[in-house]
Structure 1
């Protein structure tokens, strides 16, 4: 048996893209070349690695067993190829995924400090909601995830990371701003502007605030924090967001904080696949994250 790195690269890409066409485009190969490499790998292993469903290839149990090993071999190969190309103590590309609030307000400063500390400069950053970050970690498309949503997923290691504070905000002229000693009951029947399902920010609202309200209404569902801020600043409703995310809008007097008698603290989380190869670069980054504190200045 003589399995080639090209075959493993094709296998991993097909597992991630789920079609021969998409994998071929990503690898800059022809579709016949991708199909041939995958077929030869399956022949050598004497096992099918995917279930065929029309034009889609869904990785099966045999393929799932191979995926972390193939990912590790490709990572080691990449490290060897770049061993003498980088001045710092570690080599390789680090693929970081962050949910919206973390990715926009925290991760840029984390990467800044990591680069300054290690001289490693080859990182990518993918920002989406928590559910999408978890999906890409499961598919080995990302090395590490930094999210605000609590994750309970069997294939992912979850570690508590930084603390965050959530706040409820509204337009400066909203009727709620004129109520002294605001109570949660004063928020009954309010119009809420929320993030989409799969977002950690939405999860916080649904778990911590909405169960305490008998009636609330969703005015808008938006997939970016800035769009929510603008809608609230336009007087279209109230929202619950990270204090970090709305600081600039409060400073500009576009939004005001509502002081509520409820614990609004939450946790950021660090995630990685339990079978992900712990390269020196990934190990260094994970350790750095767990010791790091946010300092935007």
Structure 2
């Protein structure tokens, strides 16, 4: 048996893209070349790695067994290719996924400090909601995830990371700002501007605040924090967001924090696939994350 790295790269890409056409586009190969490489690999292994469903290829149990090993071999080959291209102690590309709040408010400063500490400068950053980050980790498209949503997924390791504080905010002229000793009942029938399903911020609202309200209405559903801030600053509703994310708008007097008698703390999480090969680079970054402090 003589399995080539090219075949493994084709296999991993097809697993991620789920069609020959999309995999061929990503690899800059022809569709026949991708089909042939995959067919040769399956023939050598004497196992089908995908279930065919119309034009889509869904990875099967045999393919799932191969995926972490193929990912490891490709990671090691990349490390060899980059071995003499960097002067620092570690090599390779680090693929980081961050959910919206973490990715915009925290990860840039984490990467700044990591680069200064490690002298490693080859990282990519993908920002989306928690659900999408988890999906890409499961498909081995990302090495590590930094998210605010609580994750319960069997194939992912979840480790507690930083603490955060959530706040409810509104426009400075909103009637709620006139109430002394604000209570949760005062939020009844309010118009809320919320993140989309799959967001850790939306999950916090649905788990911690909405069950305590008899009636509330979703005025808008938006997929970026800044869009929500602007809607609330336009007095289109109230929202619940990370204090880190809204602080600039509070400083500019565009938003006001509503003090509520409710524990609004939440946990950020560090995620990686339980079968992900932990290269020296990934181990270094994991260790750095656990010791890093945003306030230092």
Same fold (TM over 0.5): yes
Q: Deviations 1:164-207 (Å, cap 9, x if unpaired)? A: 00000000000000000000000000000000000000000000
Question: Partner residue of 1:90?
Answer: 90
- Counterpart in the other structure of 2:130: 130
> 2:153 — aligned with what?
153
What SS does the aligned partner of 1:278 have? coil
The 2-side partners of 1:87 and 1:30 are apart by: 36
- Equivalent position SS for 1:161: strand
For 1:41, what is the secondary structure of its paired residue?
helix
Residue of structure 1 in register with 2:259 after alignment: 259
Aligned pairs for 1:49-68 within 5 A? 49-68=49-68
Q: Does residue 124 of structure 2 align to residue 142 of structure 1?
A: no
SS in 1 for 2:206: helix
Aligned positions, number: 296
1:242 paired with 2:242, answer: yes
Which position in structure 2 is the counterpart of 1:43?
43
**Post-superposition shift, 1:295?**
3.7
| 2:31 equivalent in structure 1 | 31
d(CA) in 2 for partners of 1:108, 1:266: 20
For each residue in 1:204-225, what CA deviation from the matched residue of structure 2 results, as whole angstroms up to 9, or x when unmatched? Answer: 0000000100000000000000
What runs of 5+ residues in structure 1 fail to find an aligned partner?
none
The residue number in structure 2 matching 1:293 is 293
Structure-1-length-normalised TM-score: 0.99
Distance 2:125 2:295 in 1: 19
Taking the aligned partners of 1:80 and 1:226, their CA distance within structure 2 comes to 41
Report the secondary structure of 1:126's partner residue. strand
Answer whether contact 1:109 1:295 (CA < 8 A) is retained. Answer: no
Structure 2: runs of 5+ lacking an equivalent: none
Q: TM-score, normalised by structure 2?
A: 0.99
C-alpha distance in structure 1 between counterparts of 2:28 and 2:54, whole Å = 23
1:16 is matched with which residue? 16
Distance 1:235 1:109 in 2: 31
Q: Determine if the alignment matches structure 1 residue 185 to structure 2 residue 185.
A: yes
Query: What is the rounded CA distance, in whole Å, between the counterparts of 1:116 and 1:235 in structure 2?
Result: 42
Aligned to 2:108: 108
Aligned position for 2:73: 73
Q: Supply the RMSD in Å over aligned alpha carbons.
A: 0.6
